[in-house]
């Protein structure tokens, strides 16, 4: 019954998209709302787009907008106003299917920003009747992994745009005053950031949780606790940023923890913090493909590698054999990783460079502007026709929780600042 209802909704939406007149405005939707690619596209459009920008947020949030330009509006996704703006937009950017799997109208441009170029195997619907998250364009940062995404999502030929993930622009942005004091990190000493992906997810909305590692329940936290102890003994600080969908708490004794709500409260982003780190510890997350741009040491905590490969799976199939960093499963490897982070050695630099070359890493300094320029060149702005030239950056902050506003309202930045 649910499947039949979704199909009816998709067909109805497709029909409405075809007949609704288009106007010069853009829609951006990230899940979560402060997802880095979506935030940077809002930022870039606010500088260069001639029309209004509608930044959609999920209906179970209360959006509070900080200082943003007057042409950016924040709307709850599940509201009549949002649906009207969606149907009439000339261009739509999203990280997931915004309203199901409706096929986009040829009178609009749909751009899938996704969540980066990861090695996790996605559900392959390349042979099914309807594609997953259909779009005209897909953004990529590594040739090998982006081509796989394009195949999985059945992006039309020529729709892959290799300009890098917009979120990497945040690497050079820095963090606001007071951030380090709040999270308990001394910025005068190097720190590493542990970014584990989820193995088992929490349910979210109508979507239930799932596990990517089958029956293997090996405790990743226990392994990381050993690594963290050894890094601290070597004089390094460890900051932990859990995945927002992770069902497993990631508190490790002796480390500092920062979550999405902390980043929003302190008016910064994950990639801005990541850009200040001296090293990264991760696993199957797409973050390390972006971090290759910084050319800094990467360590991997993957005690469940065999179970993960048999469960969700990885692509390329042998990628776990040539990860661009150390396997931190032994004391010697942790010690060597700490030495690299502290600048006393660079023994894995050549490994990072080989992996970047093997994946076809796009080396970008202005990924968001490059994306907008390429979309403009391909005629994606079908009504406004052209963007403004590149210029200085406008200030913007991410939506955060505000329980004082009802769903369905439309917020204008100037009337809801502070």
Domains of the chain: 2-164+365-415 (3.40.50), 171-359 (3.40.50.12580)
Three-state DSSP at 327 gives: strand
Is the bond preceding 32 in cis, omega lying within 30 degrees of 0? yes
Contact status, residue 171 vs residue 274, Cβ threshold 8 Å = yes
What tens digit of pLDDT does each residue of 141-193 get?
999 999 999 999 999 999 999 999 999 999 999 999 999 999 999 999 999 99
- Is there a contact between 266 and 181 (Cβ–Cβ < 8 Å)? no
Cα(121)–Cα(315) distance, rounded to whole angstroms? 6
Whether 155 contacts 135, CB under 8 Å = yes
**DSSP notation for 152-208:** HHTPPTT-EEES--GGGGGGGT---TTHHHHHT--TTS-EEEE-PPPSBBPPBTTBP
What's the confidence (pLDDT) of residue 31? 86
Prior bond of 316 cis (ω within 30°):
yes
Q: In the prediction, which pLDDT does 401 show?
A: 30
Looking at residue 141, its pLDDT comes to 97
Q: pLDDT (tens digit, 0 to 9) for every residue of the chain, 418 residues total?
A: 445 556 667 889 999 999 999 999 999 999 888 889 999 999 999 999 999 999 998 854 443 334 677 889 989 998 999 999 999 999 999 998 788 888 889 999 999 999 999 998 866 555 566 777 899 999 999 999 999 999 999 999 999 999 999 999 999 999 999 999 999 999 999 999 999 987 776 655 545 555 556 555 568 899 999 999 999 999 999 999 988 777 788 889 999 999 988 888 888 999 999 999 999 999 999 999 999 999 999 999 999 888 888 888 899 999 999 999 999 999 999 999 999 999 988 889 999 999 999 999 999 999 999 999 999 999 999 898 889 999 755 555 544 333 223 223 332 222 222 2
351 φ, ψ to 5°?
A: -65, -45
Distance CA 175, CA 181 (A): 12
Residue tagged 């696993």 (tokens)? 283
Tell me if residue 198 falls in helix, strand or coil: coil
Which residues make Cβ contacts (< 8 Å) with residue 398, sequence separation at least 6?
33, 34, 39, 66, 263, 264, 269
Burial of residue 98, with CB atoms counted within 10 A of its CB: 0-12 exposed, 13-18 middle, 19 or more buried: buried
CA-based nearest residue to 118, from 37, 46, 49, 47: 37
Task: Report the pLDDT value the prediction gives residue 11, as an integer from 0 to 100.
Answer: 85
- Report the DSSP beta bridge partners of residue 96: none
CA distances from residue 385 to 32, 41, 45, 239, 262 in whole angstroms, order as listed: 30, 18, 14, 45, 39
- How far apart are the C-alpha atoms of 261 and 263, rounded to whole Å? 5
pLDDT, position 57:
87
Residue with tokens 């709850």: 76
What integer pLDDT is reported at residue 404 of this predicted model?
29
Q: Are 291 and 280 in contact (CB under 8 A)?
A: yes
Residue 112 in contact with residue 153, Cβ under 8 Å?
A: yes
Strands (E), 130-210: 137-140, 160-162, 191-194
Q: Which residues contact 156 (CB under 8 A, 6 or more apart)?
A: 136
Q: Token pair of 100, please?
A: 């199901």
For residue 194, the model assigns a pLDDT of 96
pLDDT at 123: 60
Radius of gyration for the chain, computed over Cα atoms and rounded to the nearest angstrom: 21
Q: What is the pLDDT of residue 138?
A: 97
Local structure of 64: helix, strand or coil: strand
Nearest-angstrom CA–CA distance, 34 and 318: 33
pTM score > 0.85 for this model? yes
Taking alpha carbons only, the member of 46, 43, 41 closest to residue 30 is 41
pLDDT for residue 399 = 47
- Helical segments of 124-280, H only: 143-153, 179-183, 220-233, 260-265, 270-274
Sign (positive/negative) of CA torsion 280, 282, 286, 292? Answer: positive
Q: What is the DSSP letter of 401?
A: E
Q: Label the pairing between strands 72-76 and 410-412.
A: antiparallel
């Amino acid at each position: 019954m649910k499947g039949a209802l979704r199909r009816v909704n998709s067909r109805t939406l497709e029909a409405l998209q075809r007949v609704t007149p288009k106007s010069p405005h853009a829609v951006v939707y990230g899940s979560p709302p402060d997802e880095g690619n979506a935030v940077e596209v809002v930022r870039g459009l606010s500088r260069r787009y001639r029309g209004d920008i509608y930044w959609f947020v999920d209906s179970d949030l209360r959006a509070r907008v900080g200082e943003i330009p007057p042409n950016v509006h924040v709307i709850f996704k599940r509201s009549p106003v949002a649906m009207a703006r969606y149907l009439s937009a000339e261009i739509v950017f999203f990280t997931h299917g915004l309203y199901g799997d409706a096929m986009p109208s040829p009178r609009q441009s749909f751009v899938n920003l996704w969540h980066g170029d990861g090695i996790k195997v996605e559900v392959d619907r390349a042979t099914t009747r309807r594609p997953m998250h259909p779009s005209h364009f897909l953004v990529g940062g590594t040739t090998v992994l982006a081509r796989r995404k394009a195949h999985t999502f059945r992006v039309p030929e020529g729709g892959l745009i290799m300009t890098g993930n917009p979120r990497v622009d945040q690497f050079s942005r820095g963090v606001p005053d007071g951030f380090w004091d709040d999270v308990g990190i001394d910025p005068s000493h190097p720190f590493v950031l542990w970014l584990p992906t989820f193995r088992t997810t929490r349910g979210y909305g109508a979507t239930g949780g799932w596990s990517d590692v089958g029956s293997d329940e090996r405790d990743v936290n226990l392994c990381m606790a050993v690594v963290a102890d050894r890094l601290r003994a070597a004089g390094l600080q460890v900051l932990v940023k859990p995945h927002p969908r992770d069902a497993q708490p990631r508190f490790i004794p002796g480390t500092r923890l920062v979550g999405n709500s902390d980043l929003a409260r302190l008016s910064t982003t994950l990639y801005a913090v990541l850009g200040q780190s001296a090293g990264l510890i991760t696993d199957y997350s797409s973050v390390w493909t972006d971090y290759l741009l910084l050319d800094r040491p990467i360590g991997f905590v993957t005690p469940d590698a065999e179970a993960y490969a048999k469960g969700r799976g990885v692509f390329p199939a042998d990628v776990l054999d040539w990860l661009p960093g150390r396997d931190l499963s032994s004391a010697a490897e942790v010690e060597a990783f700490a030495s690299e982070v502290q600048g006393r050695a660079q023994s894995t630099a050549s490994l990072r460079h080989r992996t970047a070359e093997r994946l076809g890493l796009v080396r970008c300094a202005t990924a968001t502007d490059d994306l907008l320029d390429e979309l403009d060149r391909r005629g994606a702005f079908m009504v406004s026709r052209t963007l403004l030239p590149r210029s200085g950056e406008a200030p913007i902050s991410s939506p955060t929780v505000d329980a004082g506003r009802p769903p369905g309202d439309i917020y204008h930045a100037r009337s809801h600042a502070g």
